[in-house]
Structures are given as C-alpha cells and as structure tokens.
Amino acid sequence: MKIILENNLDYTKIKHWVFDLDNTLYPASSNLFNKIDVRMKKFIIKKLKIEPDEAYKIQKKYYIEYGTTLSGLMKNHNVMPKEFLDYVHKIDTSSLKRDIRLKKVLKKLPGELYVYTNGSKSHAINVMKRLEINKYINKIFDIENANYTPKPSKESLDIFIKKYNINPKEAVFFEDISKNLINAKKIGFQTVLIKNASHPDKDIEVIKEENINNKFIDHISYDLPATLGEIYLDINH
C-alpha cells in the first residue's frame, strides 16, 4: 500500500471535509469514469456530427482549456448543460466496489462532509448510493450550483464557500487533479491529492504537470480510506 503523508496538516482545525467525486471517493481502477468519458465522445459525435477522432480531440481540448468538456461545448456550440449531463451520466455503476473502510471512517469523521463535483447532483447521488456512503455525506455541490463554472476556477470555489459558510482555514479538500487544489490552497484550505495510476486522463499534459504544484499539496495519497483512517487516528491520539 503506497501512502505518502506529510506532517504539516493541523488535524485539530478540520471542521469541513470536502471531497471531489469521480476518481476520488472511488479508485480510478473501477473504470467508472471511463464509461462517462466514452459517452462524452459519443455525445460530441452525435451533436456536432463529426468523426470519432475529431470528437475525441475536441473533448480533450475543451477539458484542458475550460476545466470541463461541457464548459467548452456550452461556450462554443451552445450546448444545453442538462442535455449533456443527462446523457454522459447514464451509465452502469455496477463496477464500483463498496469499501467498508471508507464507510467506517466517513461515519466517524468530526464536522461536516461535502461532495464538490464538476458533475451533476444526480450522478453524485447514484455513485454515493452504490458506495453506500450517502448517509454520511449529505451536502452535494454540483456544476449547476456553481452556475456551470467548473473547478478549478476561483469563482466556483467562492460560490461553494459562500453557500456553506465555510472557513477555508478549517477545511481540507481531497481531489484527484492537482490544478483543482491550487486556488483552495491559496485561500487557506489544507489539501490532499489522490493519485491514481489508472486515471483516464493520465497521459494528458495537464495531468502530467501535477508535480509542479507540490507547494499547493499538503498530502499525497494512493488510498483514500487508508489516509482518512490515519488522519482519524491522529485526531483521536
């Protein structure tokens, strides 16, 4: 088990536990997000009436330039967000494996727990029900709540903080994409990067550049439940 924990987190201050959804609350090896990725390309093929190779290029180009493929489609092709989100999230979640360790530690964590996702609320609910953790995380901030402005934008983060009255210095943010942690760290969040060797976008330049953002990362973890377990033990030591 490969876990890297730095010693510069102040666990006693954590009152708000903020989790990204896809490839964070479940491992990328489940291949769930790959199913979404495939449906994004299919949506673009049908909507823009283009060939698969061109659709893939547009999909990843918009992801890098705008933070999400959806944001690029909205700005450049007037795509309605609900149409896109309903289509791409219509997937089978049976590949997700319930992790009893995650359930146990989420149940014990002190304070408020949140999901902060660039996806839809319905997708978040489906995933959390499958993982059997919906009882422990009841606050979901989705892309609609952010006025369709995705992470890593500061605007999205500001809306999230204001909605839940969060003091960043009392919060920790768990996320699988390092650029999404930068603005959070700048305003006082403690940050944990979830590393996934099987991340669907691991070969894209924006993912490869994660090592340049280490000053914005307090922890690096390859196993979220184990990391949360370590933090919980330290809190109660």
pLDDT tens digits, the chain, 237 residues: what are they? 444 445 567 778 899 999 999 999 999 999 999 999 999 999 999 999 999 999 999 999 999 999 899 999 999 999 999 999 999 999 999 989 999 999 999 999 999 999 999 999 999 999 999 999 999 998 999 999 999 999 999 999 999 999 999 999 999 999 999 999 999 999 999 999 999 765 555 544 344 444 545 789 988 999 999 999 988 888 887
DSSP state of 153: -
| The token pair that represents 56 in the structure block | 């893939």
Q: Which CATH number fits domain 3-30+97-235: 3.40.50.300, 3.20.20.70, 3.40.50.1000, 3.40.140.10?
A: 3.40.50.1000
> What residue spans define the domains of the chain?
3-30+97-235, 32-88
Burial environment of residue 112 by CB neighbours within 10 A (0 to 12, 13 to 18, 19 or more)? middle
Helical H runs in 132-236?
154-164, 179-186, 205-208, 224-235
The CB density around residue 13, as the number of other CB atoms within 10 Å, is: 14
With CA atoms as reference, report the closest residue to 216 among 167, 177, 165.
Answer: 177
Q: What CATH architecture is 32-88?
A: Orthogonal Bundle (1.10)
